[in-house]
Amino acid sequence: MLIAGNWKMHTTSAEAFTLASRICESVHSDGASEVVVCPPFVSMRAAADAVAGSRILLGAQTMFWETQGAFTGEVSAGMLLEFGCRFCIVGHSERRGRFGKSDLPANLLAYFSETDAVVARKFSAALGAGLIPILCVGETEKERAEHRTEQVIQTQLNAALCAGTDARFVIAYEPVWAIGTGDVCEPDEADRVCAFIRTAAKKAGTSEQFQVVYGGSVNAENARALLERESVEGVLVGGASLEPDEFSKIIAIGDEIAK
């Protein structure tokens, strides 16, 4: 059972240290689930210091696929590993320019424009460096209304998994319409789509070393209903991971179910 928190563009270094410390203090040291926090790059050292010696693992929110070079503003896998990172989110819908809730005008959405090809390079580079990628896939509200959920997800999976892999990775089903909106996917539907993702990933030639988790407006109230579903093997938590008490409750639920 994987419980991961994506802090997005929140926390200064001091705030990250406090948040990570409070999470460490609130969870049992011998819990049965795997817990990851993904702070912004500039807060990573502070978070790493706070979780040192605890069961909390460190993840990043994205990375670049080259090891070094003239790529202003980018961060490589090697830089992340230096902080003790174990996981890295790739292809989050917000990085792809697909927002569930946003005040950005349409002409600025292209700034966030990671394509399936870009995500595939990042996924492959993360695996090659020894990181565990958390590959995000999911449909927009319009795509869902057009009954294209499976088609969209299949396309996203095919791009990233085309070469197959025997290494461990995670696939996060994050319906775009549920991210940051408060509209959580119904547990039975999340279970159905996660089952579809597992089958599709297997057909792409991957090993059994992967998990399928759900993300999108997860909180302490709905986490149990989601985590109790057979095909949901964890959650990727957004806003609720910034509240140590809330996130700790979600972790406790994961620990209980994972036993």
Active site residues: 92, 174
- Sequence-distant (6+) residues with CB within 8 A of 25 are none
- The residue behind tokens 């492959």 is 124
Cβ atoms of 85 and 131 closer than 8 Å: yes
Cβ atoms within 10 Å, residue 79 = 17
Separation in Å, CA 142 to CA 51, 99, 199, 215: 40, 12, 24, 18
CB-CB contact of 223 with 217 (8 Å): no
Check: CB of residue 57 under 8 Å from CB of residue 35.
yes
Q: Structure tokens of 148?
A: 């294209």
